[in-house]
Amino acid sequence: MTYEKPIFELPKISLFDKRIFRTFETRKLYNFVIIKNLKLDEPFHSTFVKFLVAIEDSELWIKSPATKVIKINIRDSQNSFVQSSTFKVIYLLDIIKEAIFELYETIDKSSNRMDYRESTILGIIILLISKTDDIKYFYEKNGVSEQEALEDLAKKLIPVAFVGLTISITKRDNFSYIKQSCNRMLDNMEEYSFVKAEDYIPKTFTLENIKLPQKILVSRNEI
């Protein structure tokens, strides 16, 4: 049996090699947002990929809303007892994937403007990053409100072209629905046990050290 090329060769598109992602879930999210829904323009394309890579590397988590915190003593490397806490957590990558898949239709209907829909996706990612315990600890310690935290993260993490619109979107009434939906999802996500040592140092989150490879041209017939 011989392979016949399609009569019409679809135009090639520039994509990142999906091998830059460590997990199947991240590749699936990239395929859904960037390839299936053709969010190929810059700077959104590269920014979204940087977020995925950084989130994989960070392993940030959100404490389960229903969890109980149990104090335990464990031995450290010096064979001394150290007080720690154990509780259930939801990993950031899991909830971001769930939120984007579940809310995508709402996002897509929110505006005819591509930049509005892209800024809404970035707003959801920033909202969920702000809910992680490590990031929330930093802002709460400094007396920063949830909205102020969202605005600060937007200024630090996303391209200037998206900052104003993303901040504006997070203040609108329809973003309240997104916040409520994310809170509801957190009540139903798969949870994992986490042990937090007394000397645990909260992680930070940045995109500054993420270096992306060059994109490759891929025929749409091959996707």
What are the pLDDT digits (tens) for 52-78? 999 999 989 999 999 999 999 877 667
In a domain, 6, yes or no: no
Spatial CB neighbours of 168, under 8 Å, sequence gap ≥ 6: none
In a domain, 4, yes or no: no
At 9 the pLDDT is 64
At 4 the pLDDT is 58
More confident residue, 38 or 78: 38
In a domain, 2, yes or no: no
The 3-state DSSP class for residue 61 equals strand
In a domain, 166, yes or no: yes
Q: Is the Cβ–Cβ distance between 106 and 65 less than 8 Å?
A: no
pLDDT score of 2 more than 80: no
Per the structure, how many domains does the chain have? 1
Say what percent of the chain tops pLDDT 70. Answer: 93
The 3-state DSSP class for residue 207 equals coil
Instruction: Say how far apart CA 89 and CA 142 lie, in whole Å.
Output: 24
In a domain, 118, yes or no: yes
At 80 the pLDDT is 76
Least confident of 11-25, 71-85, 166-180, 188-202: 71-85
In a domain, 59, yes or no: yes
In a domain, 5, yes or no: no
Number of H helices, E strands in the chain: 8, 6
Note down the domain range covering 31.
Answer: 12-222
Instruction: Say how far apart CA 165 and CA 18 lie, in whole Å.
Output: 29
In a domain, 33, yes or no: yes
Q: Which residue has tokens 């960070």?
A: 58
38: region left, alpha or beta (phi > 0 left; psi from -120 to 50 alpha)? left
Mean pLDDT of 153-169: 95
pLDDT, tens digit, 9 for 90 and up, residues 86-120: 999 999 999 999 999 999 988 888 888 899 999 99
Q: Is the Cβ–Cβ distance between 1 and 70 less than 8 Å?
A: no
